[in-house]
Structures are given as C-alpha cells and as structure tokens.
Amino acid sequence: MPSTPDDQPELDASQGHQHGYITDKRRYLNRLKRIEGQARGISKMVEEEKYCIDILTQISALNSALQAVALGLLDDHLKHCVLDAARSDDEEAADVKIKEASAAIARLVR
C-alpha cells in the first residue's frame, strides 16, 4: 500500500527527530475533527437560540475535550522531546526543551 503524507513522520528540522505525538497522530486528528464538529454544533445552538445552560454545557464539554488533547500532547512532548534532549550530551538543548515544556504548562493552567 503506498504511503500518504499523513503516514510520513513529522521531523523537527532543528532537532532531526520525530515529534512525540507521531505514533498517535491519526488518533489526535480524529479527536480534533470531533472537537471541530462540537464547535460547529455550539454555533448552531446559538444560531437556533437554544437554552443558555445547554450551550454552556456543550462549551464545557468542548473545553474538556481540548484539555484532554493538550494534556496528551504535553505528555508525548515530555516522554519524547524532553527526555531525548535530557539524554543527549547537549545540556543547552535539554534546558531549552524543559523551558518550552514549563511555558506550555503555564499557558495550559491560565
């Protein structure tokens, strides 16, 4: 079976290695497509003037779904990108990856 662009690993050009999420790429894409559908559904609810609490419930579900994706990506980043950098002999690269992860965590908890 010929490979498609989705089957090709994404390489971090600056690091020369695959992104940590690559093994779950299809799962992430499917989840993001469902989230996109949820967002369209919320827009439709507003357009149709549905009950406020029902819309808020759907927004809460959407936020939870996005958080789950974000936490999965963060976990993959820590297990692959940060760990690989920490195992390398390049202390500066490891420090950069740790700072990136810390900044990402800070953005997620705001």
In 3D space, the residue among 5, 58, 7, 55 whose CA is nearest the CA of residue 35 turns out to be 58
Domain parsing of the chain, residue ranges = 23-109
CATH of domain 23-109: 1.20.58.1000
Query: Residues 57, 59, 62, 63: what is their CA dihedral angle, to the nearest 10 degrees?
Result: -110
Q: Is the pTM here over 0.85, yes or no?
A: no
φ, ψ for residue 88 (rounded to 5)? -75, 170
What's the whole-number average pLDDT of the chain? 85
Q: Which residues are within 8 A (CB) of 63 and not within 5 positions of it... i.e. 6 or more apart?
A: none
pLDDT over 90 (residue 64): yes
pLDDT, position 24: 85
